[in-house]
Amino acid sequence: MKIASVLKGKGDFVATISPDSTVASLLATLAQYRIGAVVVSSDGQSMAGMASERDVARALTESGSVILDGPVSQIMSSIVATCALDASVEDVMVQMTELRVRHVPVIDEDVMVGIVSIGDVVKARIDFLEEERKSLLNYITS
């Protein structure tokens, strides 16, 4: 199964936040959409980085609540793992595991076209395995 199929099922919405927005605003965005990370972007298409709940937790531990008034650019991860529409779900799962990331933006021709989470790829894999199980069961009983 390809990542394009995952996006077809879940949609292409990507929550973004400006690098100069406050960390408090980042937390409000995460809560609003009930998500764990957003893409940091000035224009909604290019990526400056990713900002997650983990980034906020680490910054709070290191610097205290003063970071809430600071810009997202100070806590974001600037190196972001990405994938293409034609990447396999299995390859993206491996990438997420090896890089210890939970969110991977999907890029097509240098433009961000979606984002997949670990939950999205695990669901896709489970759905695929369930269909395979049903096919095998049907084959055996037919």
Following CA atoms 57, 62, 68, 69 in sequence, which dihedral angle do they give, to the nearest 10 degrees? -160
Answer whether residue 23 shows pLDDT above 80.
Answer: yes
Domain range for 96 is 3-141
Q: What distance lies between CA 73 and its chain's CA centroid?
A: 18
pLDDT tens, position by position, 82-118: 999 999 999 999 999 999 999 999 999 988 999 999 9
pTM (2 d.p.): 0.83
Which tokens in the block code for residue 65?
Answer: 């609540």
pLDDT, residue 61, reads 96
Give the number of domains in the chain.
1
pLDDT tens, position by position, 30-48: 999 999 999 999 987 789 9
pLDDT, residue 110, reads 85
Taking a C-beta distance cutoff of 8 angstroms, is the pair 21, 34 a contact? no
Mean pLDDT over the full length of the chain: 93
Q: Binning pLDDT at 50, 70 and 90, where does residue 135 land?
A: confident
Q: Taking residues 43-57, what's their average pLDDT?
A: 91
The domain spanning residue 78 has which CATH number? 3.10.580.10
Answer whether residue 75 shows pLDDT above 80.
Answer: yes
pLDDT, residue 142, reads 81
